[in-house]
A and B are shown apart, each in its own frame.
Chain A
Amino acid sequence: MGQPAGFRPGRGGDAGLYEAPASAKKQDLQGHTEMILHALFFYLFAAVTVTSAFMVISSRNPVHSVLFLILTFFNSAGLFLMLGAEFLALILVVVYVGAVAVLFLFVVMMLDVDFVELRQGFLQYLPVGALVGLVLLIELLLVLGGWSISADVVASAVTPIPSLSDLSNTEAIGTVLYTRYIFFFQIAGLVLLVAMIGAIVLTLRHKAFAKRQNIAEQVGRDPKTAIEVRKIDSGKGI
């Protein structure tokens, strides 16, 4: 994705939408172009995200699913970029695509799970599931249709991050993460610790026959203990 002229990701994509100066015609035109490009990219990223997310759950081959998941992550990163959150966008790519998705690929390829069998009931449950989904969708549309949000709310909304024109993205996150949000940050750390303990508790098995390192023994080894001299009678084994 190239950077079109007039598209400035670092400044908050919406800036071009509402601040088109009316006085200068040239600037007005540029504002329009920016707006159209902005909308164009938004719909492009959004459409690909939704389509590939759907493909994740509908493709038959689990490896394809993971690949589509990667595509979803990439396009979500694009959406973040348009919001001016380039740090989050890059983190999404590095962590989710670089680490998580690759891990998923490993798991999918190494575990011998018969996905065709898992999907057996899919068609059977499809009508009811689709009906429930449809009802929920209609209800949600009703909610969005009745979206009433007062101007005060927009003004008073929690915006802890200082203006992005003063600070870079990373700095803005850094200033609040370890100060204002230290509490949440620490609990999130504990949640991850519990997940790790859980994974180890439920899966790790110490096998009696597995050979393990004994560092103390290895370090304390000298020629006397490492080499054993045996006298062997000729014609006999040890």
Chain B
Amino acid sequence: MQPELTLLPDLMSALPEIFLAVGALVLLMIGAFGGERATPAVTGMSAALIALAVIVLLFMPVDGASFGGAFVQNAFARYVKILTLIGSGLAIAMSVAYGRAEKFERFEYPVLIVLGTLGMMLMISATDLIAVYLGLELMSLSLYVVASINRDSVRSTEAGLKYFVLGALSSGMLLYGMSLVYGFTGQTSFVAIAETLARDGSSLGLTFGLVFMLAGMVFKISAVPFHMWTPDVYEGAPTPVTAYFAAAPKIAAMAMITRVVITAFEPVVLEWQQVIVFVSIASMALGAFAAIGQKNIKRLMAYSSIGHMGYALVGLVAGSQAGVRGVIVYMSIYLAMTLGTFACILAMRRKEGMVEEISDLAGLSRTNPMMAFLLAMLMFSLAGIPPLAGFFGKFYVFLAAVEAEFYTLAVIGVLTSVVSAFYYLRIVKIMYFDEPVTGFVPMPSELKVVLGLAGIFVIFFVAIAGPLVGAAGTAAKTFF
């Protein structure tokens, strides 16, 4: 018998994950036995479960590695997990009114979101190739199902199917890359891979595997050239699901990429840096130019999010502590801006139903001045105009890139953000200077809360920048 067999893994560091896993199973039972009537209760309890996980992460942090080094809890993991949980929790909250209006309230929806969030948390904490893959699949499978949760709508099912087929392909690439990395290093644990690489150096086969792995992972943050699915899925999926897709999974996947390249492939930094530089530039450029012609606001947000992933990757290219801090700060700000904007998109409802065209926002400043003001602030922030939050996000990533002497990358980033300002400002122009069309029905209170919080975060970011950037700095320090 091996001695390790008798050791019980340290479960305390994985307490939030265990809460979510057990809680999701309990909620599933409640839903299965309670039927349709249990849906509001399950929804409420899912949100409470996610809040509980946030509280555990905030007030009872237990750091350390567990499960034979496949799982690690540290400042970085906790910070990103809290962001992810906020994204998922608010996505559940924002879906309530929509689900009621469009008649697809089902108790499985919040349960799947909780399970998907669990997958994201495992992905963030993963320090082993197998753990990365399993966490990623748990997340992706939940996402495929919630994309087509409105199964009576052709657009929703089409979005789910498209996402599933392309996602399965990307998982295949990821697995293939992992098998090559395992073949050339003989290890699955990140630390051991880094040790082997530091000793033996890189080889052609390892680079091959690394590129395949990056392709599979970059698909999940929908960066160019693996972005094709994003506009279609964002447009087709029900809007609260799109809000969920745009926020939590991207943050988790970005954290996973950061951990993989910084911990496992640190010795071969030049090999992955060139890939990330290409992906970053291509995403920023495509996000800036392709969004110009969009008429549907969900498609516009899809291209916008592709661009924002490019900006966040600029920080990763630097590969330094400042760079990782930039990525974390950027993703925090991105979360607030995305959720706020989607709260507005969810509020675009007339008596006859939801509307999604940008032209439907015409004259919003006169029909709903408060919403118009906050949406305008969010648009200015997305464009990166000081002193709003979006500016600081870009500032920290570009700062890191300049410090690491990636001048060209920083210049390209600034130029593309000028181009992208065009379509963000066009929305402001439509809201303030076009003739009003019929107003929207009053906003549900939960959307008001989300929009209000996002607005406060974006406008008064200067006031909270110190503690937030400090926390991000502490999180980034765990890698170096």
Residues of A within 8 A of B (CB): 139-140, 142-144, 146-150, 152-154, 156-158, 162, 175, 179-180, 182-184, 186-188, 190-191, 193-195, 197-198, 200-202
Tell me whether B464 is interfacial, beta carbon within 8 Å. Answer: no
Residues on A with C-beta less than 8 A from B134 are: 184, 187-188, 191
How many angstroms between the C-alpha atoms of A79 and B188 in the bound complex? 24
Tell me whether B465 is interfacial, beta carbon within 8 Å. Answer: no
Given A154-B186, A179-B4, A180-B5, verify A194-B151 contact (CB < 8 Å): no
Which one of A147, A156, A190 contacts B205 once the chains associate, using CB atoms below 8 Å?
A: A147
| Contact indicator A190/B196 (Cβ below 8 Å) | no
How many angstroms between the C-alpha atoms of A53 and B138 in the bound complex? 28
Interface residues of B in 1-40 (CB under 8 A from A): 1-2, 4-5, 9, 21, 25, 28
Residues on A with C-beta less than 8 A from B187 are: 156-158
Which of B95-103, B110-118, B259-267, B436-444 is near enough to bind chain A? B110-118
Which of B63-71, B297-305, B369-377, B421-429 is near enough to bind chain A? B63-71
Residues on B with C-beta less than 8 A from A158 are: 186-189, 192
| Contact indicator A190/B21 (Cβ below 8 Å) | yes
Given A158-B187, A180-B68, verify A201-B106 contact (CB < 8 Å): yes
How many angstroms between the C-alpha atoms of A158 and B182 in the bound complex? 9
Of B66, B138, B183, B200, chain A has the most CB atoms within 10 Å of the CB of: B138
Residues on A with C-beta less than 8 A from B208 are: 139-140, 143
Interface residues of B in 107-146 (CB under 8 A from A): 108, 111-112, 115-116, 118-119, 122, 130-131, 134-135, 137-138, 141-142, 144-145
How many angstroms between the C-alpha atoms of A154 and B185 in the bound complex? 9
Please list 6 pairs of residues, one from A and one from B, whose beta carbons are closer than 8 Å in the complex, sorted by A's number. Answer: A147-B203, A153-B200, A156-B186, A184-B70, A190-B119, A194-B145
Chain A residue nearest in CB terms to B18: A186
How many angstroms between the C-alpha atoms of A135 and B179 in the bound complex? 20
Given A143-B208, A149-B184, verify A183-B71 contact (CB < 8 Å): yes
Tell me whether B417 is interfacial, beta carbon within 8 Å. Answer: no
Tell me whether B351 is interfacial, beta carbon within 8 Å. Answer: no
| Contact indicator A146/B203 (Cβ below 8 Å) | yes
5 further A-B pairs in the complex, CB-CB below 8 A; given A157-B186, A179-B4, A190-B118? A184-B130, A190-B119, A194-B112, A201-B149, A202-B151
How many angstroms between the C-alpha atoms of A158 and B192 in the bound complex? 10
Tell me whether B204 is interfacial, beta carbon within 8 Å. Answer: yes
| Contact indicator A194/B67 (Cβ below 8 Å) | no
How many angstroms between the C-alpha atoms of A39 and B119 in the bound complex? 43
How many angstroms between the C-alpha atoms of A194 and B134 in the bound complex? 12
Tell me the smallest distance from the CB of B10 to a CB of chain A, in Å: 11
Tell me whether B148 is interfacial, beta carbon within 8 Å. Answer: yes
Residues of B within 8 A of A (CB): 1-2, 4-5, 9, 21, 25, 28, 66-68, 70-71, 106, 108, 111-112, 115-116, 118-119, 122, 130-131, 134-135, 137-138, 141-142, 144-145, 148-149, 151, 157, 160, 180, 183-189, 192, 196, 199-200, 203-205, 208
| Contact indicator B200/A152 (Cβ below 8 Å) | yes
| Contact indicator B112/A183 (Cβ below 8 Å) | no
Chain B residue nearest in CB terms to A148: B203
Chain A residue nearest in CB terms to B21: A190
Residues on B with C-beta less than 8 A from A140 are: 208
Chain B residue nearest in CB terms to A162: B2
How many angstroms between the C-alpha atoms of A179 and B67 in the bound complex? 9
Which one of B25, B68, B138, B200 contacts A187 once the chains associate, using CB atoms below 8 Å?
A: B138
Going nearest first, the 3 A-B pairs with the smallest beta carbon separation are A157-B186, A198-B145, A183-B67
| Contact indicator B138/A190 (Cβ below 8 Å) | yes
Residues on A with C-beta less than 8 A from B111 are: 197
Given A179-B5, A183-B131, verify A202-B148 contact (CB < 8 Å): yes
Residues on A with C-beta less than 8 A from B200 are: 150, 152-153
Chain A residue nearest in CB terms to B134: A187
How many angstroms between the C-alpha atoms of A51 and B109 in the bound complex? 43
Residues on B with C-beta less than 8 A from A186 are: 21
Residues on B with C-beta less than 8 A from A188 are: 134
| Contact indicator B138/A180 (Cβ below 8 Å) | no
Residues on A with C-beta less than 8 A from B157 are: 202
Given A146-B203, A147-B205, A194-B138, verify A183-B2 contact (CB < 8 Å): no
| Contact indicator A197/B108 (Cβ below 8 Å) | yes
Tell me the smallest distance from the CB of B135 to a CB of chain A, in Å: 7
Of A175, A191, A202, chain B has the most CB atoms within 10 Å of the CB of: A191
Residues on A with C-beta less than 8 A from B141 are: 191, 194-195, 198
Which one of A148, A150, A184 contacts B131 once the chains associate, using CB atoms below 8 Å?
A: A184
Residues on A with C-beta less than 8 A from B112 are: 194, 197-198, 201
Given A162-B2, A201-B145, verify A190-B67 contact (CB < 8 Å): no
Residues on B with C-beta less than 8 A from A197 are: 28, 108, 111-112, 115, 145
Of B1, B67, B144, B180, chain A has the most CB atoms within 10 Å of the CB of: B67
Which one of B2, B115, B180 contacts A175 once the chains associate, using CB atoms below 8 Å?
A: B2
| Contact indicator B151/A187 (Cβ below 8 Å) | no
How many angstroms between the C-alpha atoms of A186 and B145 in the bound complex? 21
Residues on A with C-beta less than 8 A from B130 are: 184
Tell me the smallest distance from the CB of B205 to a CB of chain A, in Å: 5
Which one of A179, A187, A202 contacts B122 once the chains associate, using CB atoms below 8 Å?
A: A187
Chain A residue nearest in CB terms to B151: A202
How many angstroms between the C-alpha atoms of A177 and B113 in the bound complex? 28
How many angstroms between the C-alpha atoms of A175 and B3 in the bound complex? 12
| Contact indicator A198/B70 (Cβ below 8 Å) | no
How many angstroms between the C-alpha atoms of A144 and B166 in the bound complex? 28
Chain A residue nearest in CB terms to B189: A158
Tell me the smallest distance from the CB of A118 to a CB of chain B, in Å: 14
Residues on B with C-beta less than 8 A from A153 are: 184-186, 196, 200
Chain B residue nearest in CB terms to A144: B205
Which one of B68, B115, B145 contacts A202 once the chains associate, using CB atoms below 8 Å?
A: B145
How many angstroms between the C-alpha atoms of A187 and B121 in the bound complex? 12
Residues on B with C-beta less than 8 A from A156 are: 186-187, 192, 196
Residues on A with C-beta less than 8 A from B66 are: 183
How many angstroms between the C-alpha atoms of A182 and B4 in the bound complex? 13
Residues on B with C-beta less than 8 A from A200 are: 108
Which one of A175, A187, A194 contacts B135 once the chains associate, using CB atoms below 8 Å?
A: A187
Residues on A with C-beta less than 8 A from B67 are: 182-183
